[in-house]
Structure 1
Amino acid sequence: MDMEMKSRIRRIIEILIKENREYTAKELSLKLDVSEKTVRNEIAGYCENEEKYPVKIISLKRGYRIQDDKVDEEEIQQFLQRLDLAFGNELDREKYVLRKILLNERYVKLEELADELFISAPTIHRIFKNVKATLMNYKLEIISKPGYGVSVLGDEIDKRLCYVHCLPKASDENIETVAEQCGMKKEDFYYIDYAIRKSLDKNEFDLTETGIKNLTVHLMYAITRMREGSFIRSIRLNYCIPEKEANIAEELIKNLEEEYGFAFPPTEIDYVRVHLSSKNANLGNEAAAVSAETEAIIRHINDKIKNILGYDFLDDWELLTMLAMHIEPMLSRIKFGINIPNPVLEEIKAEFPNAYECAVIAADYIKENYRLTVSDDELGYLSLHYNLAIDRLAADNTNKKILIVCGSGMSTARLMQAKIEKKFQIGRGNISLCSIRELRTKDLSGYDAVISSVKIPFPVDRKVTYIEDILGDFSIESSLSDRMLLQSYVDDRLFFFHQDFRGRDEIINFLCSKVNEVYGAGEEFARMVWKRENLSSTDIGNLVAIPHAFSMCTEHTIFALCTLKKAVKWKRRKVKYVFLVSFGKKDLEISHDLNEKLLSLLLDARWIALLDKVDDVEGLMGIL
């Protein structure tokens, strides 16, 4: 049941409890801004399993009220929270089960969890399957003991990181809830938050608000675990913690020891040092010290980006500096499972798709060489650095190579040259002139654009921009315009409408096989599509997914489309429209613009509404 449905049943019960009188369906519908029928259906659905609930709704002649049983207020609040889970989404239930088994050192029975959540045995077993998969991501495993239940086996640091990541994000509105789920009170949150800020101010160390709240939550749960006798045994550091971070950690721990009355072992102090070094906001004016290893990582990544996407960042010193400041703390965060949520991730993926692909390539290099998986949140932060670098490339026209064909006299060619120099700030040394005769044997591979005032009477291995009015307005990119039309890539053998697939894997494998049938793409193409999908899910919202190859492995650009009768679960989102894309090696110079043009369509809800009604290729061509 979705969030709207969940809130309705809870609000109905809260209204009935608070007022303690009979309410008609009409009165409730006005308070909830829904129909009377919806109110009746909500209450009927609740009453079907009412024997499980401590709060009963009774139906009277005119309306509804709460049965007058004595239920204390604390029990009611606990019930309403569990009710949210019972009527909420499965992800919330998974997190509840994770927290329950991680917080409890003893065995936990699944049937008891099912009763707490008011769900059936098959449902709890389905949820628990996903819980086990989540635990595996933190190198944790489940052990079962007949008659006793299940328990979690693994290192203490991994248990803590998994638990904290399952908590709601700490905010001013939910501090009490987060503190309770860490086994503490909101007063503890405020004290630890104060102690952190005091140490940071004393040492003139910058940490974001998100970073401070995150560290506060980690420390609350750490204190609860240590009180129960669960300590971190060892932390293996592959780098030296800076002196400032080490001093802050020692001062902070000293204050916490005095407040909570027990000593923190050295490994717990290291735990705090790691958090600080992985969250440094780098807001000061100190120059970034780029280690040789970090510089090598960035060089290798940018080499890979140049080979795959064509962007040349090798001489971008600003990008090198910003990435150096970002990558070392990022690797530390990944190693110790510290995730900084990215509140604008979806906007980044939609607005800066090419920068996001650069970040995905960086993630692939890190995974191959360091066996570390970069989260989507981290990819979003990396994308911002690459987007600025792409903007710098776009602004730098001085390196563009232009060939002007002298078809109607040298004077005309010189006028063209002068106009291009002035409008696009391209140096005269980067603009070449040649005659039509010379063009026959000219190597055009080193030119970004070829411009002529007359039609070339023979085929050339390059698109040509024809300028009839040399004093009028024109763009050096217009030679690519005909290849920027999405219609030119529609192949009716690769477009499938209203299909009946059940999941992501089935759809991707189907489309890859069809591309192979039509273009002979081979197994390597499918492998590259799955490589990209496994690095970061390609669902982009708006019920759309765009699976695509990690690198260019087809000569020509290929689009395949599959629309579905019913939306399926992709990763965390539902998807109904799947565009499989392979940008061709021959289209490298337009692939970035083509990708953005496609995305602008797919993120337009009005265009997707039109697509939903399309039954064939002819209809698709009509809306492109």
Structure 2
Amino acid sequence: MTDFTAREREILFYLLTKSEPVQIQEIAEALETSERTIQRERERLGQTVAPFQLEMSYIRGRGLQLSGDEGHKRELREALLLSHRQLPSAEDRQVELAYRLLQEEGMIKLQALAHAMYIAPSTISQDLEQVDEWFCQYALELKRKKGLGAEVIGEEIDKRRLLVSLIFTQWDVLSFYRFLQGHVDQLPHLLQIHQREWIEAINQSYAVIVPLTKQQDISDRLLMRAALSLAVQAIRMDRFPMVYELKAYPLEILHHVDTLQQRLPYPLSIAERQWISEELRNFQQDQLETGEELVIRLRVKRLIEQVSLLYGEAFMEDRALEHGLVSHIMSYTKQNIVNPSYVIKQIEREYPRLFDAVKQAAEFVFNDQTFADYDLAFWVMHFGAVLSKPLPKIPYRVLVVCSAGLGSSKLLMNRLRQEFTELEQVESSSLFGIGRLQLKDYDFVLSTVPLPDISQPHLLVNPLLPKEEVERIRKLLVSLPKSFQAAPRQESSGWLDLSRLEELVKTARQLSDAFSIETISAQTEGLEEILLEISNGLVDKNVTSSAVQLSTQLLRRHEMSGLGIPGTRLALFHGRDDSIHRGGFFIYELEQPIELLGMDQAIQPVERMLVLAAPEEATDQLLQLLSSISGAIIENDLQTHQFEYGDIHQLRQILNRTFRKVIERELQPVEQPLDFSL
């Protein structure tokens, strides 16, 4: 087996997903390292890929390129995959950093951490930014002092919970079982820092906990967690005492604690008995804990990496994909699945190679958990959504509101033009000046000061527009239903275009006749299932030829940004796709509410899903009418309420009024002087 360094693996993983030369700066930014590091690795990379009959070349002005036959690239991918278990990734390094911080009392110098982990202090500083979020999830604070180091602040019970989750990111059930059979080499690298202590504690804890499980049907994963929890207690109880918190526990749990106390070779304080009580509750829960989110997130990153290699697509660059998969795996259940074999056949037919890649990667990354094919089918939808053809950029009109002075507004406007070339019209106004403007003339509003309630989409932003603000604005752009914006019309000559008018009226009638309100059964759980059921219904209506392609397009909209309309029970799904034959507007009432991300980035319950769909090559008239529907939804409070609760008759009346306004604008005369000259 070929040996690769961790850095070589990262660079080669990245280059294998690219067909064109890649700038050194781009590689460095993607891998969160320096350009100098990439330059230093260039010569060694060439030597590494040579046995695979591949060439690593540097093209001046264009960057690095991995060249060679696709078959040889596939061999390199397989070799990299096989080396994955032996060599730590960046995530493994960050897990070890978090683990070492939790083992320390008080402040620890970053230089000492860097020396212990054989990495540069600058890398430690970068990794601390990454792991800070993990500590926050467990109500812990990562406190840093310049020149002194870093320290974890928080309760011991939360530190122990994080420790157990960190171990789970590095250790699967099969390796744990082999370790208990005497294969000490199965102990993860993370625990080899204090190898002898962990071996003794885990074996002792397992021997104590096993008799309690004989009367119960407990999963291997819960048994492993119980053993690890006892081991963590044995190692930490003397150095890091627990603080007791008054709580009530079922008699059955208290009985188990008494039994464990009798079998343990050391006495337990009341606070330590509480730690065991908290952990034994897991035996009565058949669900993922909040602590599992860290485990799932790190494994999803590896899953995306593996699928990228197997499929040959740069899925790793897509942040929305990671978020979507984590949310899906954390919330998805196998119960009440509707016709799973039918779902699998649909996904396999649309994405055969991708399905195989996801299945193979899942077996590799989640080797201690079993996922059925219908689980994986919905994972494939998330990957397939990334492959959906992106919608063309449409010019946007934005209003910038700033009361801090001309300089601030100019600064923000210049930053906007730099970051968003699709912004066609950027205008500024003071807070008091917006009352004199027609806000409906703008697609959205950005403000450096809090605004009164306005109907247009808006965001409060920093005038310097840092990176995170750019991401928020990008999400807002994606959430806007501008995929239905009609092309700019030419100035009218005063001549009534009867053909255009006829097409407009015909399209309006078709949209009105096709409009429907349908109910989605409470047995359909999860957004992916709901979108697939909706799309299958639209296949029956001859709106689209591919339920999978349409549902992945709609899912992509959701993953990129929130689609829930704030303050309502509505979500607006919209998209254009080449699988769509004809446009339409449809409403789906959910018997069971679903939690979705809103346009304001807050989670909200949704009970009605509005779907706007159009062909990729749609007529200007269709886009104009669909755009008018999206505007009508939030035109006023009464109309929004009717979209939330109205029946089909009430909503057809709204559509009729909305279409009438569009047609009347078409008929508006343009004053032109009459020419009587001969």
- TM over 0.5, yes or no? no
Q: TM-score range by the shorter chain?
A: 0.3 to 0.5
Q: TM-score w.r.t. structure 2 length?
A: 0.37
Q: TM-score w.r.t. structure 1 length?
A: 0.40
